[in-house]
Structure 1
Amino acid sequence: MPTRRPLILLVPLTLVLLLIIAAVATAAPATPASPAAEGTSATPRWEWPLQPPPPDPAAGLTRGFERPPAPWAAGHRGVDLPAAPGTAVHTAGAGRITFAGIVVDRPLVVVEHAGGLRTSYEPVRPQVEVGDAVAAGERIGSLASGGHCEGCLHWGVRNAAGTYLDPLHLFGTRVQIRLYPLGR
């Protein structure tokens, strides 16, 4: 006569397995939102860091974003915006200053926004201090000379996981690449 012991053990094991799956599923982080979706409201307000903003943000770049193939590899982890030293620099969105000081040989300001998104601005002589709350478009300092490009603001964006993102995506902008014949 067959025994029922294996069947009796199967029910509790199945229940334990289902509880573990449910616990892992609820503890897993949510799918990260796009940069444009992160903010304090359903539609965050993002501002261009230099005023006035260009009519076509992609056309107003000295150098665009180049995602590195790996976190340690070479790339351009932000965009370069042309500007003269002394130009006012504004935060792209509301947040809190997490860094305002010197890194190696250049001044830098970092703002943390809702959802862990961080924007960085260099070289910028800060007029803010760590812990200051800032509104979107608020002046955070002035462009200094130096940095990796003379006469430009390097503007970077990282998500909460530390992944660098293209700052133009804050505006829902996708860079359109235009190819022109060499003869023109």
Structure 2
Amino acid sequence: MVPLRKPLAASLGLVSLLAFAGVTSAQTVETTQQFSPVFRGLTTFFVDIVVGGILVAALPAYTRDSISEIRDDPGGSFLWGLLVGIGGLVALVVLAITIIGLLVAIPGFVAFFVVALVGGAVATVFLGSTVTRVLSGRSQSRPSLGIALVVGAFVAAVLSVVPLVGGLVLFVVDTLGLGVVGRTLYRSYA
């Protein structure tokens, strides 16, 4: 029976090595540095408050009209948001391939960034307005833009730390805001 110990020991060693390899391969590897949820939520809140505050103070009528347009045609606003967000970026990247196109693409990226900021601010106020209407129980009331902004920034900050559902909701709301801004720009130049 002495000769059986060596194959048994080798088999146990191989099984333990495979088990260790399985445990090691199941570990997650963080390749990018992750921000804490508190930092992410606070950053979202303050950026939304600052950019939304500038929009509400400078263009209150435009903000109310944009919110009404999202409520009247959410499907169209969402499709416009996808068109501006995806189509606009693809067009700018294709333009950036050549040297002459790069001269157009650089200001285009700056303009896209500004449109995205304004769209995000409109989306924040829209989110706050919708939440305020639902919580107050009055579907026809129009909350003040300041209250809608603060509520929207708070809800967006909370949603930014919710892993999957929060990101999906914020994507849809931000796409609505981007779409209404893109559609307004198209109408003004067409």
- The TM-score bracket by the shorter chain reads 0.3 to 0.5
* TM-score, with structure 1 as normaliser: 0.33
Q: Structure 1 or 2: larger strand share?
A: 1
- Rg (Cα) greater in structure: 2
| Larger RCO (CA under 8 A, 6+ residues apart) | 2
Q: Structure 1 or 2: larger helix share?
A: 2
